[in-house]
Structure 1
Amino acid sequence: MSERETPRGRLTRLMTERRDELGLYWNDVAERAGLTKEGLRTVRAGVGTMRPPTKRGIETALQWVRGSVDRVLDGGDPVPLESAGTAPSPAGPSALGSAAAAPASAAAGTVREAAGAGVDAEALRAYLDIFRETGRRTGRTLGDMLVAGGYASPQDLALTLRRPDPVVEELEGDPGLPDEVKQRILEGYRALRREIAESLRRPD
């Protein structure tokens, strides 16, 4: 960082470099970060305080490991997801998978590859952020996407006394999700499980 470059100015520069590297437009970044165009413009201008959800959204959009924005503001460097152990999907507007291009399968595959590659917990959490963002954009629950992507069967999502549901455990243990959001996701996921269970009990 040059002597004249502020932390927010450096963040803007690194965001621009990463955007160019991924082959994205600012509109793509805003959409993937869950921000309005004006909101992203404010971030890039270095105006106001950045809230944690805004930082997480930028990290998701730019495929940085969670905590990268704070690292940049503290004088460090962002950590690309590919440096954390697994290469991201090809750059471009469909890097996260569009709603029309099997986003459930793409997102679930990303998480499975991350787990198989033995990446650290922070990197895996960043992949899960991409997974959740895809769900938010398509209106699907995590369970929905796991089943649609072929990475879990309806039986895998059923709760038993002997085997706790891993999706529920992940959601309940995520410190980055506000309680209200966590509760809404869990309610949707439980509704999905009930619907699947009822469909399995119905005769063909």
Structure 2
Amino acid sequence: MTATDRNKILSEHPIGTLEAASPDIAEQGCCGMVRSESQHKRGPAMPRDTAERTRLADAMDQRRIELGLRWEHIAEKARISTTHLRKFRRGDAGISSVVEAALEDALQWEHGSMATIRDGGDPTPVAESSRRDPNKTLAEMLLERGLARPEELTAADEIRNDPVAWEILEAEDLTPSGRDRMLKAYAYMRREMFETVRQQKRGPRA
């Protein structure tokens, strides 16, 4: 799905206008796309000689090895340079909350895991059940994320394994809130199309 496709989904439904004014829009680019690190306000660096920095750096390295990833790949997913990632791990540079979330995505950790590690806890790997399930419906995706109430769901939401919905949820250039906005807008667009087709099938009234 291109940025043009995303713009079309958002622009064709009021939710695109309503949510464009949300407070966290400053953390995102077009359609919730994650901006490069240079476009975000970075947080403070972790001092080199601290237990929290050592814990986080060690946990990140261990997870990278478990997943068979290279630092270059992780940096690319987080949209920062390998140099900046290296400086962050060493305690020489900070990162924004958006980039931290992107790093957690790259390492397949639940969001908030890096803060938990700094506090002395253990990261939470992304649950297998939260990954792509071919039997999951769009309705279930919306309910899981608190984007719809049961009474709001329609027959249009009962589609299973919707490739567009999965593409939105797995988009690495969208923040979590950006994915939610896009998924909600897409669901509304599907409902409108579904209703239009149903009305056309009924034909003109006598």
Q: TM-score, normalised by structure 1?
A: 0.45
Q: TM-score, normalised by structure 2?
A: 0.45
Higher relative contact order, chain-length normalized (CA < 8 Å, sep 6+): 2
Higher Rg: 2
